[in-house]
């Protein structure tokens, strides 16, 4: 994977590095500057000559149009080099020359001739010989007159300027120009200068692959050198690279093209020596010195054999290099194929990774949506349970308040009449004792015999002892009834929506008082300790105690023990209610806070007790934990803060 990524980065970065110069030219071509824009357009046209004649024509045409605009524009100021008229005309002449070459590439001869003639006219008017010689040479070639020049003045001065100024002319202009200069120097007998001009033209022909011109120039250089020094001079080897800044680069050669190697120095020397012996043999034969001519011809024959051997060896080397180039090209094609496969694999990998990440993102979103729906469903169930509890407790509160009120009135009658009844009976007892004392002291038993018989028949002594016990029982029953009424009123305070201090032990005792008739066979052990009041809603907390204690009672149908312990832990109050009942399995324990979950039979309970209790405790900013072991009982731990914190987010409660 890393290798593929590196290859892809190289393939992407390399064209960008090569395109920096072209990007700069494109940016300059879009600037409103005068000469800078024209030169950039001309360079872009030259750049596309070898690859796209259409783009070359477009950029050259744009350059000529922009030059026309600048010539007639008021922006050009005298002395301003960026908008000077001569500079604009020089760029215009170069643009028309480039436009002519582009038309030639597009095989549009007439358009090319028209562009070259415009370039020649402009160059002649402003004295721009470099552009003029290019236009003249191309016109001569297109008209079938290669090698003719209509340039006035000295060709040598012009060629010097052409060589230093026109970098793209190459073989089409510079090589024929130097060859023409060489011919003129040869005709005037200036052999050294002719040799110099021929040597300057030779690299351009050799680089362009024009072997005929190159061989002709080498022969002329050899002949002139022999005439000048009296002995032949080794010709220059073929030039494989163009001089720096003077000739255009060769078109890229295909690996299928055969390689042509320049003759080695040894082969060239042998060929020149053989030619020398052949010429000498001819001269000696014409002079009648046949023996010496024969010896020279034999040496010529021997050297020709050496030349043929060296030439065959050179051709063999050319064939080897051609085959090697073909192998290299095939390896390069194989490498490009592998790179393409690697890029394809990388693209597929990136696509697969993108698809995986997209699918994973979609799955995560779906999971989050499901979680949100599940939470919403749970909140709805809790709200439903709280609504049911609210309605239930509201009805229960109204019913309990009415019952407590109705029971409280007769209980008050009984409680209020017990003491007067006790006083009246006490007076009657004192009257009866006075009667008995008077009868006994005065001996009036005979006279009150009937009364005595009635006293014995009604068991007056037993009544006298039983009446105080009956009155005490009535008083205790009235007090217990009043306590139950107070418990009902304390438990059902559903109209209290204002948070106030809550006495937790009192709430527990009140709840136990209401459950007293169900606590047969169950012992309750209390350890309240030294606890402080907490802030909350007394009626709702009593409802929690009722649910927890009722569950504990139901878990011990055969009796048991309930332990209740309260203690203060820092700023919190902890309430522990533990029973010795049946306990729960882990599966049941994990579900006891779910709304409507119950282990009872259908119609025996709604399964809302612990769910409502959890909501109430969370409303009081506390928490409730349940610990249970199957067969060993259950312990409920309720933790409440002593003070209510306003910044805490509460669970909604609709009690």
**Averaged pLDDT score across all residues of the chain:** 76
pLDDT of residue 150: 43
CA distance 277 to 293: 9
What does DSSP assign to residue 264? P
Alpha-carbon span 177 to 124, nearest angstrom: 18
pLDDT, residue 169, reads 47
Q: How confident is the model at residue 649 (pLDDT cuts 50, 70, 90)?
A: very low
- In tens, the pLDDT along 440-450 reads 788 777 777 88
Tokens matching residue 549: 């204690």
Of 191, 218, 252, which residue constitutes the final position of a domain?
A: 252
What pLDDT sits at residue 560? 92
In a domain, 382, yes or no: no
Cβ–Cβ under 8 Å, residues 533 and 643: no
Q: How confident is the model at residue 614 (pLDDT cuts 50, 70, 90)?
A: confident
Q: Does residue 47 contact residue 60 with C-beta atoms inside 8 Å? A: no
Is it the case that residue 8 has pLDDT exceeding 60?
no
CATH number for the domain that contains residue 567 = 3.30.565.10
Name the most confidently modeled range: 124-138, 374-388, 445-459: 124-138
Supply the pLDDT for residue 338: 92
In a domain, 430, yes or no: no
Q: Looking at residue 491, what is its pLDDT?
A: 59
Task: Return d(Cα 472, Cα 224) in angstroms, integer.
Answer: 163
Comparing 326 with 74, which gets the higher pLDDT? 326
Nearest to 624 by CA among 527, 551, 529: 551
**pLDDT bracket for residue 210 (50, 70, 90):** low
Q: Is 136 contained in some domain?
A: yes
CATH number of domain containing 226 = 1.25.40
The total of structural domains in the chain comes to 2
Find the mean pLDDT for residues 242-253.
42
Beta carbons within 10 angstroms of residue 195's beta carbon? 22
458 within a domain of the structure (yes/no): no
pTM above 0.85, yes or no: no
Quick one: what percent of the chain has pLDDT higher than 70? Answer: 73
Do residues 201 and 236 lie in contact, with contact meaning Cβ atoms separated by under 8 Å? no
Please state, in angstroms and rounded to a whole number, the distance separating the CA atoms of residues 97 and 99.
5
Residue 420 resides in a domain: no
Residue 580 lies in a domain: yes
Going by pLDDT thresholds of 50, 70 and 90, the confidence category of residue 4 is very low
pLDDT > 90 fraction of the chain, expressed in percent and rounded: 12
Instruction: Tell me the C-alpha to C-alpha distance, in Å, between residue 462 and each of 448, 459, 469.
Output: 20, 5, 11
Phi and psi torsions of 525, nearest 5°: -110, 120
Residue the block writes with tokens 């002139």: 224
More confident residue, 409 or 87: 87
Residue 387 banded pLDDT, cuts 50, 70, 90: low
Where does the pLDDT of residue 10 fall: very low under 50, low under 70, confident under 90, or very high at 90 and above?
very low
196-214: average pLDDT = 74
pLDDT tens-place string over residues 505-525: 988 988 888 788 788 889 999
Among the listed ranges 254-258, 378-382, 630-634, which one has the minimum average pLDDT value? 254-258
Residue 181 contacts residue 156 (beta carbons within 8 Å) = yes
pLDDT digits (tens, 9 = 90+) for 550-602: 889 988 988 899 999 999 988 899 999 999 998 888 888 888 888 777 776 65
Q: Residue 251 — pLDDT band, cuts 50, 70, 90?
A: very low
pLDDT, tens digit, 9 for 90 and up, residues 225-234? 776 665 444 4
Whether residue 260 is contained in a domain is answered as no
Residue 9 has pLDDT above 60, yes or no: no
Which string of b and e fits 382-393 if b means at least 16 CB within 10 Å?
A: bbebbebbbeeb
Q: Give how far Cα 361 sits from Cα of 346, 358, 364, 365, 499, Å.
A: 22, 5, 5, 6, 47
pLDDT in tens, 17-37: 445 566 666 766 667 667 888
pLDDT at 344: 92
76 near 84, Cβ under 8 Å?
Answer: yes
- In this predicted model, which residue has the larger pLDDT, 389 or 331? 331
Most confident of 167-176, 475-484, 605-614: 475-484
Cβ atoms of residues 497 and 537 within 8 Å: yes
pLDDT at 646 over 80: no
Residue that is last in its domain, among 205, 224, 252: 252
Domain boundary (208, 232, 252) is at 252
Q: How far apart are CA 20 and CA 218, in angstroms?
A: 42
Residue 120: which domain range? 7-252
Query: Could you tell me which residue, 591 or 638, shows the higher pLDDT?
Result: 638
How far apart CA 15 and CA 13 sit, in angstroms, is 6
pLDDT for 331-372, tens place per residue?
888 899 999 999 999 999 999 999 999 999 999 999 899 988
Residues 556 and 577: beta-carbon distance below 8 Å: no
**Cβ neighbour number for residue 610 with a 10 Å cutoff:** 23
Q: At what angle do helices 129-142 and 155-165 cross, to 10 degrees?
A: 100
Higher pLDDT, 649 or 107: 107
Please check whether residue 184 lies inside any domain of the structure. Answer: yes
Instruction: Please name every residue paired with 527 in a beta bridge, in sequence order, or none if there are none.
Output: 565
| pLDDT at residue 564, rounded to an integer | 95
pLDDT in tens, 430-474: 888 888 788 778 877 777 788 878 877 877 778 878 888 888 878
């Amino acid at each position: 994977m890393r290798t593929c990524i590196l290859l892809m980065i190289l393939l992407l970065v390399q064209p960008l590095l090569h395109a920096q110069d072209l990007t700069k030219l494109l940016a300059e071509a879009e600037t409103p500057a005068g000469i800078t824009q024209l030169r950039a357009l001309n360079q872009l046209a030259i750049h596309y000559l070898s690859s796209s004649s259409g783009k070359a024509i477009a950029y050259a045409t744009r350059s000529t149009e922009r030059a026309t605009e600048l010539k007639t524009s008021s922006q050009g100021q005298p002395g301003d080099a960026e908008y000077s008229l001569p500079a604009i005309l020089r760029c215009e002449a170069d643009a028309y020359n480039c436009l002519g070459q582009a038309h030639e590439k597009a095989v549009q001869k007439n358009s090319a001739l028209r562009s070259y003639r415009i370039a020649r006219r402009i160059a002649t008017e402003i004295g721009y010989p470099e552009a003029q010689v290019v236009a003249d040479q191309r016109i001569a070639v297109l008209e079938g007159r290669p090698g003719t020049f209509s340039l006035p003045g000295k060709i040598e001065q012009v060629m010097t300027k052409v060589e230093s100024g026109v970098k793209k002319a190459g073989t089409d202009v510079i090589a024929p120009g130097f060859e023409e200069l060489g011919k003129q120097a040869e005709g005037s007998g200036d052999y050294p200068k002719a040799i110099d001009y021929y040597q300057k033209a030779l690299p351009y022909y050799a680089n362009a692959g024009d072997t005929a011109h190159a061989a002709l120039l080498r022969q002329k250089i050899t002949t002139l050198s022999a005439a000048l020094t009296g002995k032949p001079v080794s010709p220059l080897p073929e030039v494989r690279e163009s001089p720096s800044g003077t000739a255009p680069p060769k078109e890229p050669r295909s690996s299928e093209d055969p390689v042509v190697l320049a003759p080695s120095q040894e082969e060239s020397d042998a060929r020149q020596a053989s030619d020398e012996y052949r010429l000498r043999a001819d001269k000696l034969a014409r002079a009648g010195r046949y023996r010496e001519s024969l010896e020279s011809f034999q040496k010529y024959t021997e050297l020709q054999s050496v030349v043929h051997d060296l030439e065959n060896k050179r051709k063999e080397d050319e064939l080897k290099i051609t085959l090697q180039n073909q192998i290299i090209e095939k390896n390069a094609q194989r490498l490009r194929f592998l790179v393409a496969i690697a890029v394809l694999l990388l693209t597929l990998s990136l696509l697969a990774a993108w698809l995986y990440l997209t699918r994973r993102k979609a799955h995560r979103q779906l999971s989050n949506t499901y979680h949100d729906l599940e939470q919403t469903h749970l909140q709805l169930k809790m709200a439903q349970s709280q609504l049911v509890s609210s309605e239930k407790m509201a009805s229960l509160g109204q019913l309990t308040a009415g019952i407590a009120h109705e029971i409280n009135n007769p209980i008050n009658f009984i409680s209020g009449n017990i003491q007067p009844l006790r006083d009246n009976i006490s007076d009657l007892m004192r009257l009866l004792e006075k009667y008995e004392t008077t009868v006994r002291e005065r001996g009036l038993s005979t006279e009150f015999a009937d009364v005595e018989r009635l006293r014995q028949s009604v068991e007056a002594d037993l009544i006298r002892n039983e009446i105080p016990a009956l009155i005490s029982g009535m008083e205790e029953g009235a007090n217990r009834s009043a306590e139950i009424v107070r418990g009902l009123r304390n438990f059902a305070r559903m109209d209290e929506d204002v948070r106030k201090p809550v006495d937790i032990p009192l709430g527990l005792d009140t709840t136990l008082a209401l459950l007293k008739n169900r606590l047969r066979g169950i012992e309750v052990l209390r350890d309240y300790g030294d606890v402080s009041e907490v802030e909350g809603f007394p009626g709702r907390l009593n409802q929690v105690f009722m649910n927890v204690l009722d569950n504990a009672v139901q878990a011990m149908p055969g009796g048991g023990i309930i332990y209740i312990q309260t203690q203060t832990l820092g700023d919190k109050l902890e309430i522990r209610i533990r029973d010795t009942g049946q306990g729960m399995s882990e599966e049941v324990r994990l579900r006891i806070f779910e709304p409507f979950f119950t282990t009872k039979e259908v119609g025996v309970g709604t399964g809302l007790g612990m769910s409502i209790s959890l909501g109430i405790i969370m409303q009081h900013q506390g928490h409730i934990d349940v610990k249970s072991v199957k067969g060993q009982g259950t312990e409920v731990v309720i933790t409440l803060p002593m003070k209510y914190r306003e910044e805490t987010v509460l669970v909604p409660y609709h009690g």
